[in-house]
Structure formats: C-alpha cells, structure tokens
Amino acid sequence: MVIGVLALQGAFIEHEKMIESLGVDCIEVKQKEDLENIDGIILPGGESTVQGLLLKEYDMLEPLRDKINNGLPVFATCAGLILLSHVIEGESSPYLDTLPVKIKRNAYGRQLGSFVINKKFKNVGELPLIFIRAPYISKIDNDVEVLIENDGNPVAVQYNNQIAMAFHPELSDKNYLHRYFIEQIVTPSLKLAV
C-alpha cells in the first residue's frame, strides 16, 4: 500500500511521519502524475486558498476530484476539509467539491483562538484534538456520518471514501485516526471506536 500526501503547502511532513509510524509507505504528491499508483491520499492543513490555487495552477484539481469521486480514499485535515467541501460560506465557488458539507473558514480561530480538546476514545483513552484557526462544519447532508463531535457540533465526518476533520491529528503524538484511515482502505465496513 502507498499513501500519497499532498505536499504543495502546509503540514504535510507531520502526516508522512504518522503514516510511516504505521509501517505504511508514503510519497509526496506534487504533480498530477503523482496521483497515479496511490491507494489513498492525505490533504493536510495549511492555507486552503494557497493550496486551492496551486492545485489549479498545476492542473491537479480535476484529476484529483475525479479520483475521489471514483473512490480514492481521502483523509483531510483542516484546510484539506475546506478543499473537499461543497459549500464554503462567503465564497462563491468550492475547490474539489466532493464532500456534501457546508463549512465556515477560520471560524474557531477568530472566536476562540487555537485550542486543544482532550477527547476520550474506546480502546485508546484520551486523544488531543488540536484546532488551529479551524473550519466550523455548519451543515452536513443526511448521508454524511459524524465520527467525532464537540459540544454537539461535528468536528470529524465521513462520507464513503472521504474522512475529514477540522482539527490536526498529525500534530499530536497519537496515530489513532491515521490508523483508522489505513484500516478503512483495507476494510471499509469497519467503524471508528469512539
């Protein structure tokens, strides 16, 4: 198995370390040819406007969208979630537009600053959920599954082959959610133990 990590901008090296800690190979995706021969892709946090612009400039937006719509497993964090979303509040058009959710950019950041929530999970105990100027998921379609909630709001969601979260699991020292992504590629029927 080979996982591609979109490496145009943002916190991609931290994701590579997580994937390697699971004994899985990864490559950096920097051009559209890199999208071939990968079994899944990670869209890292960073600055979604810059990442979106670079995806367009390098002719990667449409090939990546097609691959995701055709079932390529995706694990998206923060800016990555923004790139996937159908609707970005206050902006006229989306980027990849594959995930039926509505989000508000920098929503947690402006109101609350960056923060960490410690959330307890079955089997592994507490994990830190690290929010950095995070997008707020304001609406989800009926068939989008909520994986993790905070104060009644979804902060991690799954829609078939797409897993997306507002926070940064790659900045913690726990690879639980990356492991779930790898497990999903092998066994999509498996559920996250929360």
Q: Does 94 bind ligand GLN (CB under 6 A)?
A: no
Query: Catalytic pick from 15, 16, 26, 170?
Result: 170
Count CA atoms within 13 Å of residue 147 on its CB side: 21
What is the amino acid identity at position 54?
Answer: L
> Is 168 annotated in the active site?
yes
Query: Catalytic pick from 16, 26, 78, 178?
Result: 78
> Is 86 annotated in the active site?
no
What is the amino acid identity at position 74?
Answer: V
The continuous run of DSSP H or E covering 88 comes out as strand 85-88
Q: Does 82 bind ligand GLN (CB under 6 A)?
A: yes
Number of residues that bind ligand GLN (CB under 6 A): 11
How far apart are CB 122 and ligand GLN at their closest, in Å? 27
What's the CA gap between 66 and 98, in Å, rounded? 9
For ligand GLN, the binding residues in 102-121 under the rule CB under 6 A are: 105-106
Out of 28, 39, 47, 97, point to the residue binding ligand GLN (CB under 6 A).
Answer: 47
How far apart are CB 40 and ligand GLN at their closest, in Å? 19
Are 135 and 107 spatial neighbours (Cβ–Cβ below 8 Å)?
Answer: yes
What's the CA gap between 95 and 164, in Å, rounded? 15
Q: Does 133 bind ligand GLN (CB under 6 A)?
A: yes
* Residue whose C-alpha is closest to residue 43's, from 87, 75, 16: 75
CB atoms inside a 10 Å sphere around CB 54: 15
Query: Catalytic pick from 16, 26, 168, 178?
Result: 168
> Is 170 annotated in the active site?
yes
Active site residues: 78, 168, 170
Question: Which positions touch ligand GLN (CB under 6 A)?
Answer: 45-48, 78-79, 82, 105-106, 132-133
